[in-house]
């Protein structure tokens, strides 16, 4: 369900992003319908209207109209999801693994306690590594446009954090922390997977040929990509601190919307655990945020 979910989610993001730029009610309605479809594929799709609601409430003046605009999609998508669950339970039957993600999330909270913080940090490292890996061609294209003089304070802070990210993730990959750099479900020493043959998948036998230098190549690309991504986002977000509330431009509103959806989407899966493919939706969100924010930095020079 990864591809249908990502496709429907991207459609919802498109309409909501247009609504963030121009406030069109038509785009809000279309985005809500697409978000309903995405949520019926995977429950975590409700992160899209939640991210939209947060963006509207933070970036717009407080009023009943804006509150209704923000909460309307959440109520509709949540109502559709609840109705679907009732329909399954009463007339169809709930699939065996339907509630497994929620059960994993509840167990992670109840069993780990304060250790849940370590789980979140571990999964956040994996997420940052793979987002950096797959966004690297895109972020490298924009990096020269974000270059700044060395005496620029924001540039120095972003550069230090980026270098620290590179070193820490490199160390994590070297010691195999959280399974990095190849956590196994999709990318592994044999290439793309998962390998579902019985001897490999069930019996744990290594009956496949390793791709030469794959681990080293993925390590370098992932750590470098994470560092570039951190630098790009920090440089852009720090420039936003100079903006007065209510004075954000259309592109900046879209970028903050993308980041809000990404945060709401990542939070539960970072706690409950995930495969690399669960990050598929975060890639367009990251690219949308980076492309929108870097234009703001260029204009502000």
Per-residue pLDDT tens digits for 252-294:
889 889 999 999 999 888 887 778 888 999 999 998 888 877 6
pLDDT at 301: 47
pLDDT at 95: 83
- 105 Cα distance to chain centroid: 17
Handedness of CA 263, 3, 293, 180 (dihedral sign): positive
Identify whether the C-beta of residue 101 lies closer than 8 Å to the C-beta of residue 43. yes
Specify which residues 188 forms β-bridges with. 191
Is pLDDT of 48 > 70? yes
Q: What is the pTM of this model?
A: 0.86
**Residue that wins the pLDDT comparison between 113 and 65:** 65
State which of 87-91, 193-197, 241-245 shows the largest mean pLDDT: 87-91
Distance, CA of 145 to CA of 142 (rounded, Å): 6
Identify whether the C-beta of residue 272 lies closer than 8 Å to the C-beta of residue 105. yes
Place 93 in a pLDDT band, splitting at 50, 70 and 90.
confident
Specify which residues 191 forms β-bridges with. 188
Q: Angle at Cα 119 formed by Cα 113 and Cα 122, nearest 5°?
A: 160
């Amino acid at each position: 369900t990864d591809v249908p979910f990502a496709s429907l989610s991207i459609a919802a993001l498109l309409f909501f992003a247009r609504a963030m730029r121009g406030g069109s009610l038509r785009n809000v309605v279309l985005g809500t319908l697409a978000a309903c479809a995405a949520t019926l594929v995977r429950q975590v799709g409700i992160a899209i209207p939640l991210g939209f609601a947060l963006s509207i409430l933070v970036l717009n003046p407080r009023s009943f109209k804006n509150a209704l605009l923000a909460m309307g999609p959440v109520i509709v998508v949540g109502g559709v999801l609840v109705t679907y669950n009732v329909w399954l339970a009463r007339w169809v039957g709930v699939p065996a693994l339907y509630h497994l993600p929620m059960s994993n999330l509840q167990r992670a909270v109840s069993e780990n306690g304060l250790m849940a913080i370590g789980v979140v940090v571990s999964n956040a490292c994996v997420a940052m590594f793979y987002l950096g890996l797959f966004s690297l061609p895109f972020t490298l294209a924009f990096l020269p446009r974000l270059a700044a003089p060395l005496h620029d304070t924001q540039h120095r802070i972003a550069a230090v954090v980026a270098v620290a990210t590179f070193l820490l993730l490199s160390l994590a990959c070297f010691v195999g922390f959280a399974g990095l750099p190849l956590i196994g479900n999709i990318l592994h020493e044999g290439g793309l997977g998962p390998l579902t043959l019985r001897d490999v998948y069930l019996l744990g036998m290594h009956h496949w040929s390793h791709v030469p230098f794959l681990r080293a190549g993925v390590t370098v690309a992932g750590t470098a990509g994470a560092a570039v991504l951190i630098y790009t986002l920090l440089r852009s977000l720090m420039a936003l601190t100079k903006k007065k509330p209510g004075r954000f431009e259309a592109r900046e509103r879209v970028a903050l919307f993308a980041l809000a959806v990404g945060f709401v989407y990542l939070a539960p899966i970072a706690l409950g655990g995930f495969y690399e493919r669960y990050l598929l939706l975060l890639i367009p969100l990251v690219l949308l945020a980076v492309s929108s924010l870097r234009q703001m930095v260029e204009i502000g020079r």
